[in-house]
Amino acid sequence: MQMMIADQFLESVSGERIQINNPATGTACGEVPAGGGEDVDFAVQAALDAFTPWATLPNSRRGGLLYRCAELIRREADRIALILTTEQGKPLREAKDEVYGAAAVFEYYAGSASLVSSGYADRLPRYGYGIVQRRPLGVCGAIIPWNMPVLIAAWKIGAALVTGNTLVLKPSSKAPMAVLALGEVMKRSGLPGGVLNIVTGSGNLVGDPLISHPEVKKISFTGGMETGRHIAGVAARTMKRVTLELGGNDPMIVCSDVDPVAVAEAALLLRLYNCGQICTSPKRLIVEDEVYEAFVTHLKRRISEVVIGDGTDPSSMIGPLNSEEVRSSVEHAVWRLGDEGAEVIMGRIPDTLPRKGFFCLPALVTGCDGDSPVLQEEIFGPVIAVINAGDSDEAIDIANNTRYGLGASVWTQKIEVAERLAEGLEAGIVWVNQHMKLPPEVPFGGVKGSGSGRENGLAFIEGYTEEKTILISR
What SS3 state is found at 140? strand
The CB-of-76 to ligand NDP minimum distance in angstroms stands at 24
Contact between residue 33 and residue 211 where contact means Cβ atoms under 8 Å apart: no
Stretch that binds ligand NDP, among 3-11, 56-64, 239-247, 313-321 (CB under 6 A): 239-247
Residues with a catalytic annotation lie at 245, 279
Residues in region 116-175 near ligand NDP by CB under 6 A:
143-147, 170, 172-174
231 or 375: CB nearest ligand NDP: 231
With CA atoms as reference, report the closest residue to 322 among 31, 21, 2, 72: 21
113 or 211: CB nearest ligand NDP: 211
Q: Which helix (H) or strand (E) element contains residue 194? A: none
Candidates 35, 36, 63, 223; binder of ligand NDP (CB under 6 A) is 223
- Which DSSP letter does residue 308 get? B
Told to check if 207 binds ligand NDP by CB under 6 A, we report yes
With CA atoms as reference, report the closest residue to 444 among 434, 455, 433: 455
256 or 329: CB nearest ligand NDP: 329
Query: How far is residue 389's CA from residue 396's CA, in Å, rounded to a whole number?
Result: 9
Query: How far is residue 305's CA from residue 308's CA, in Å, rounded to a whole number?
Result: 9
Stretch that binds ligand NDP, among 89-97, 203-211, 364-372, 463-471 (CB under 6 A): 203-211
301 or 332: CB nearest ligand NDP: 332
Q: Give the other-Cβ count within 10 Å of 34's Cβ.
A: 21
Q: Is 452 exposed, middle or buried (0-12, 13-18, 19+ CB in 10 A)?
A: middle
Told to check if 449 binds ligand NDP by CB under 6 A, we report no
Candidates 30, 193, 224, 443; binder of ligand NDP (CB under 6 A) is 224
How many residues bind ligand NDP (CB under 6 A)? The answer is 27
Strand partners for 166: 139
Stretch that binds ligand NDP, among 61-69, 204-212, 300-308, 419-427 (CB under 6 A): 204-212
What SS3 state is found at 411? strand
Q: Is 325 exposed, middle or buried (0-12, 13-18, 19+ CB in 10 A)?
A: exposed
Q: How far is CA 441 from the centre of its chain?
A: 15
* C-alpha torsion angle, residues 254, 257, 263, 264 (rounded to 10): 70
- Which DSSP letter does residue 318 get? B
The CB-of-2 to ligand NDP minimum distance in angstroms stands at 17
The CB-of-148 to ligand NDP minimum distance in angstroms stands at 7
Amino acid residing at 58? P
Which residues, other chains included, contact 234 with Cβ-Cβ below 8 Å and sequence gap of 6+? 208, 211, 212
Stretch that binds ligand NDP, among 100-108, 123-131, 223-231, 256-264 (CB under 6 A): 223-231
Stretch that binds ligand NDP, among 72-80, 217-225, 258-266, 396-404 (CB under 6 A): 217-225
With CA atoms as reference, report the closest residue to 309 among 321, 300, 297, 318: 318
The CB-of-444 to ligand NDP minimum distance in angstroms stands at 11
The CB-of-322 to ligand NDP minimum distance in angstroms stands at 8
Told to check if 203 binds ligand NDP by CB under 6 A, we report yes
138 or 407: CB nearest ligand NDP: 407
Query: How far is residue 308's CA from residue 442's CA, in Å, rounded to a whole number?
Result: 33
With CA atoms as reference, report the closest residue to 160 among 235, 103, 237, 219: 219
Contact between residue 205 and residue 17 where contact means Cβ atoms under 8 Å apart: no
Stretch that binds ligand NDP, among 35-43, 110-118, 216-224, 392-400 (CB under 6 A): 216-224
The CB-of-301 to ligand NDP minimum distance in angstroms stands at 29
Contact between residue 337 and residue 344 where contact means Cβ atoms under 8 Å apart: yes
Candidates 204, 373, 423, 473; binder of ligand NDP (CB under 6 A) is 204
- Here's the x/- map for ligand NDP, 242-281, by CB under 6 A: it reads as ---xxx-------------------------------x--
Q: Which helix (H) or strand (E) element contains residue 474? A: none
Query: How far is residue 191's CA from residue 50's CA, in Å, rounded to a whole number?
Result: 11
165 or 280: CB nearest ligand NDP: 280
- Here's the x/- map for ligand NDP, 321-340, by CB under 6 A: it reads as --------------------
Strand partners for 139: 166, 216
Stretch that binds ligand NDP, among 22-30, 155-163, 219-227, 388-396 (CB under 6 A): 219-227
The CB-of-176 to ligand NDP minimum distance in angstroms stands at 8
- Here's the x/- map for ligand NDP, 349-388, by CB under 6 A: it reads as -----------------------------x-x--------
Q: Is 66 exposed, middle or buried (0-12, 13-18, 19+ CB in 10 A)?
A: buried
Site for ligand NDP, rule CB under 6 A: 143-147, 170, 172-174, 202-204, 207-208, 211, 222-224, 227, 230-231, 245-247, 279, 378, 380
